[in-house]
Amino acid sequence: MFVLELTYTAPLDRVDAALSDHVAWLEKEYAAGHFIASGRKNPRDGGVILAAGIDRATAEKITAEDPFVRAGVCEYRITEFIATKTAPALAEYVQQLPS
């Protein structure tokens, strides 16, 4: 599982100009089954996405396709973790530690 943390690198007016394309990109990735949660950080200096069922190379490819990245208004920090425990509603995402 991955935490995709984005940080804005441009003023909010430039972020907002790319927002509708970013939301369409999010919807595409949700439909593909890659994303399980997302939202803005508070204060509004970026956002967080939880991604599952992909490998690091795919996470890097997906984030590179974000319209925010293409518009030059954000950078991503990609953190992989092993979800060994979840809330019952997320039980399908439980992972086993490697041997």
How far apart CA 17 and CA 80 sit, in angstroms, is 30
Residue range 3-9: average pLDDT?
98
Tell me the per-residue pLDDT of 59-90, one tens digit each, with 9 for 90 and over.
999 999 999 999 999 999 999 999 999 999 99
pLDDT at position 78: 98
How far apart CA 35 and CA 46 sit, in angstroms, is 17
Rounded-to-5 percentages of helix, strand, coil across the chain:
40, 25, 35
- In residues, how long is the chain? 99
Is pTM beyond 0.85? Reply is yes
How far apart CA 19 and CA 77 sit, in angstroms, is 19
pLDDT at position 99: 82
How far apart CA 99 and CA 97 sit, in angstroms, is 6
pLDDT at position 32: 97
pLDDT at position 47: 98
